[in-house]
Amino acid sequence: MKGAVAAGHVKTAEAAMRMYELGGNAFDACLAALAAACVVEPVLTSLGGGGFLLARRIDSRPLLYDFFVQTPRQRRARDEADFYPVIADFGTAQQEFHIGAGSIATPGTIRGLVGTHDRLGSLPLAEILAPAMEYASEGVPVNALQAYIFSIVSPIYRATPAAEALYGGEALQGEGTMFHQPALAETLAWLSAEGDAPFYQGEIAQRLVTLCIDQGGHLQLADLENYRIIERVPLQHRYRGYHVATNPGPSSGGTLINFALSLLDHQDMAAADFGSAAHLKTLAHVMARTNLAREDGILSRFTRHSRLLEEYLAQIAGHPVNNRGTTHISTIDGQGNSASLTLSNGEGSGQLVPDTGIMLNNMLGEEDLNPAGFNRWPCDVRVSSMMAPTLAEDHRHLIAIGSGGSNRLRTAILQTLSNLIDFAMSPEQAVNAPRIHFERDRLDIEPGFAAEAIAALVANYPDHRTWTSQNLFFGGTHTVCWDGRQFSGAGDPRRGGVFRCRHAS
């Protein structure tokens, strides 16, 4: 099968390409990459986290599969929960995260992997999981990006004896160290034989629940038994002749991208040179207005878009938002099937399901889930997210795109899409082009824009920061394109991106 992938690690992309070589479709490739990413990108994703897959079969409309985390059905008392802060050191700044068994939400990744395979896959599950099993068993070298991320969050990956035993001896030793995960390889083999039943009804479920009972977590067996994939109709917008589909409510990232595109509809972007003062001022203005759109009570400021904003506020009501770190995978095959998948494990809770190698998420430690104070999240609710897997197509082009980068991912996707559509850039040019990001009244600017354009821009944004190099702060828009004959694409270098394609059947 002809096909292409863009992802955040060479082994993640390799797993996808192996599926194409076996005759698999874009969904087989995407799911093999998912499993591989849980092995080789362990801080960014895990079988103990969750995600969103936007999939389009060649003969049908796009469909969003929501297998993000769910809040537990019941809360333990605050003084019974294992929940505490750790400090991550970014060098130039520090950030507080909250971890422990009391930070674990109901994981969805394994059900998402198996359930979407049942619906979309063409190869056996054992074939899908084989590359990940190999990487976990034989080991993979820790690359520069993973070493850097491990160095930032090392307190989490040393937080418990189990975490220290798995990560302290190899993964935390720096770039080039071989990282072996034999327990995870055994777990993947177990799942390949029995599907998701061990994790949601069987022995792994019992281990997870026992850990929570003993260590101060909230999850009970009913949380796992009742977890379901939710199928959602994507949010769609027609932009310059392209049908753009993205993650709908209750998640917020896709809705905000849609809103920003609706603002760009009224601007002649192609008339301004990329990186000109006019172009950058338009982008910054759209980002500022989109940020205001996240706030309640501002609909009167945007009467032209009041319906969209009212729908947005209604959709996210009661669904706490998670803004944590992520990774992304895009795939398209030669038949025109396309997939965009974004995954997250937060930063990890420090707790592993015993004897499985699965690091569990810390999604309940997100401050936005607890506006009234920690341990007050709403019970039994699907968590919202900024993650926004996106597909776009016109009469002959397909684009699969998405990004990691917490709240910055929506501006990264917006700018890369605009680069592709408005400025007719190649995927490599569109992804590598410098970006800006506006949030909380501060404008961040990557290097690469002309000095006179930056000077004109910052005159209106006194609170700004100019970066000296590209940085993962600005997201990672791993992108695949297909024109019916040839694949093109780019992995974002800001997040270790890799693009691979196979043109021969």
Q: By three-state DSSP, how is residue 274 classified?
A: coil
CB neighbours (10 Å) of residue 305? 17
**Tokens 């003084």 map to which residue?**
79
**Tokens 């947005």 map to which residue?**
312
Given the residues 106, 326, 327, 342, select the one marked as catalytic: 326
CB neighbours (10 Å) of residue 476? 29
DSSP string covering 13-67 = HHHHHHHHHTT--HHHHHHHHHHHHHHHSTTT--TBSEEEEEEE-TTS--EEEEE
**Is 63 in contact with 234 (CB distance < 8 Å)?**
yes
Task: Give how far Cα 153 sits from Cα of 95, 406, 486, 487, Å.
Answer: 10, 16, 40, 37
Q: Distance between CA atoms of 287 and 437, rounded to whole angstroms?
A: 7
Q: Distance between CA atoms of 62 and 337, rounded to whole angstroms?
A: 10
Identity of residue 203:
E
* 326 is annotated as an active-site residue: yes
Q: Distance between CA atoms of 451 and 473, rounded to whole angstroms?
A: 21
**Is 37 in contact with 29 (CB distance < 8 Å)?**
no
Q: Which uninterrupted H or E stretch holds 138?
A: helix 125-138
Q: Distance between CA atoms of 138 and 179, rounded to whole angstroms?
A: 9
Q: Distance between CA atoms of 34 and 12, rounded to whole angstroms?
A: 7
First to last CA, the chain: 5
What is the token pair recorded at 157?
């990956």
Active site residues: 326
